[in-house]
Amino acid sequence: MGILNVTPDSFAESGAVDVRMAIDRALTMEADGADIVDVGGESTRPGAEPVDAESELARVMPVIEAVRGRLRIPISVDTYKAAVADAALEAGADMVNDVSGLLYDPALADVVARRGASIVLMHTRGRSKDMYEQAEYGDVALDVAAELQSRVDTAVAAGVPLTSIVVDPGVGFAKRPVHSYGVLARLPELAAAIRRPLLVGPSRKSFMRAAAGGADAAGRDWTTAAAVTAAVLNGAHIVRVHAVGPMVQVVRAAEEIRQAG
């Protein structure tokens, strides 16, 4: 899954993205081997300011409408807002990537069910500004699995087919570095507990800052490669990344290792 941010304040990329630039990036991701392009109009990095639905729609809709006719691969919309998801799915998006796991806008589940779309339910706690205050776990893998299962149950109760649900343990969200590394190491336990496909999105995140020698986000592609390798070896079905071309190679090599084992 290639990350296509159309925000002026992405933690991993700089500057606003216009529609022409977004089309070029999406086409390049597809050519580089992406299987899904994930379009996002609100930064959800820790400490980020929330964006209202009108502003988010103004960012993502021109991009989704423009790339829909150009891409052969599915489009995901990275949003937790029901109104944004509804418009994006109407415009041709295929799935919703909800970083809140239906916690921020429960009406999103009804939209996904009505539209017959797929959804990624990510684990988090709290909002961007206070999520680290809630990073207290007894057993991080078991706690995350239990909370994700609750989110899956909510989606199914709203009419979303179980086969349309992917779960994301949310590395870097409401987790200290030790928790994020713990989740990566124990993905098989999560998969066994929830029995849904796993998406993992470690790309350039700050939990790897120390391992990257203090590098900023743009300098964390090597640590991202290590995290992506671990994710694939431990059973991830989808990895969400910024640098699609290099990470496709990482995924292919890790997949060969996994299959050989």
Burial class (CB in 10 A: 0-12, 13-18, 19+), 211: middle
Asked if 164 and 118 touch (Cβ cutoff 8 Å), the reply is yes
Please identify which of the residues 114, 240, 252, 258 carries the catalytic annotation: 240
Asked if 189 and 142 touch (Cβ cutoff 8 Å), the reply is yes
Q: Which two tokens stand for residue 15?
A: 């500057």
- Which long-range contacts link 105-108 to residues 24+ away (Cβ below 8 Å)? 105/80, 105/81, 106/154, 107/82, 108/80, 108/81, 108/82
Asked if 73 and 32 touch (Cβ cutoff 8 Å), the reply is no
C-alpha to C-alpha distance for 116 and 246, rounded to whole angstroms: 33
C-alpha to C-alpha distance for 28 and 44, rounded to whole angstroms: 24
Q: Which two tokens stand for residue 169?
A: 């343990």
Q: Residue 45 catalytic?
A: no
Distances (CA, A) of 71 to 24, 31, 63, 92, 111: 11, 10, 12, 11, 24
Q: What is the largest CA-CA distance in the chain?
A: 49
Please identify which of the residues 25, 151, 175, 205 carries the catalytic annotation: 205
> Which residue carries 């431990």 as its tokens?
234
Q: Residue 209 catalytic?
A: no
Asked if 239 and 36 touch (Cβ cutoff 8 Å), the reply is no
- Annotated active-site positions, please? 205, 240
